[in-house]
């Protein structure tokens, strides 16, 4: 009887020490918000949707840095450059954008400079997975330049909540 009792005490002691230092949350503990930073380089094709629409797109290359929360809200920045592919290869424009919204639909607003037209740009767009539709506004010519982009960059990754 004493040996069985001794074995039981040793087993309880060992099992108690196995959980030492580990915090086990209650079964219905609320999960806390978590945030992750996601940096992605991308490339894409851009078609300007205007009178002189060309079937040959421009090339865009860029870098996007986003803070993604477990609530699926997103904030960050995007910098990109467009390269004209019609009539020889030439540098077209550069843009710096604020990016915000949810993982599935991102809004873009920012400024840029058109080297091809020597003009400051304002830009506004809506971005989804692998695509963006928006418009630039050329301040020197006071005109809107709508565009459609197909991109290599997807929606930001999902961030799981932490306990």
Enter the pTM of the model: 0.76
Residue environment code for 85-94, b if the CB has 16+ CB neighbours within 10 A, otherwise e: beeeeeebbb
What is the predicted pLDDT for the residue at 126? 98
In this structure, what DSSP letter does residue 157 have? P
Residue closest to 147 by CA, chosen among 58, 40, 35, 20: 58
- Is residue 2 helix, strand or coil? helix
CATH number among 3.30.450, 2.40.128, 3.30.70, 2.40.50, domain 35-151: 2.40.128
What is the enclosing helix (H) or strand (E) of 5? helix 2-18
Domain boundaries, the chain: 35-151
* Residue pLDDT tens, the chain, 163 long: 655 555 555 555 555 545 555 555 556 656 667 899 999 999 999 999 877 777 889 999 999 999 999 999 999 999 999 999 988 899 999 999 999 999 999 999 999 999 989 999 999 999 999 999 999 999 999 999 999 999 999 999 999 887 6
Six token digits for residue 126 = 């809506």
Structure tokens at 35: 């945030």
8 Å CB contact between 75 and 64: no
Give the largest CA-CA distance in the chain.
Answer: 98
- Gap between the Cα atoms of 44 and 31, Å rounded: 38
Both tokens assigned to 106 = 């991102």
């Amino acid at each position: 009887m004493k040996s069985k009792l001794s074995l039981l005490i040793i087993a309880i002691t060992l099992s108690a020490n196995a959980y030492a230092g580990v915090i086990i949350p209650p079964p219905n503990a609320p999960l806390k918000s978590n945030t992750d930073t996601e940096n992605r380089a991308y490339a894409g094709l851009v078609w300007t949707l205007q009178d002189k629409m060309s079937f040959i797109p421009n090339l865009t290359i860029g870098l996007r840095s986003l803070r993604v929360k477990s609530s699926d809200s997103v904030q960050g920045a995007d910098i990109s450059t467009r390269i004209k592919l019609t009539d020889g290869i030439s540098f077209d424009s550069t843009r710096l954008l604020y990016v915000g919204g949810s993982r599935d639909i991102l809004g873009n607003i920012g400024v840029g400079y058109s080297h091809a037209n020597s003009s400051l740009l304002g830009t506004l767009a809506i971005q989804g997975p692998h695509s963006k539709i928006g418009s630039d506004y050329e301040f020197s010519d006071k005109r809107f330049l709508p565009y459609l982009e197909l991109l290599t960059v997807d929606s930001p990754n999902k961030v799981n909540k932490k306990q």
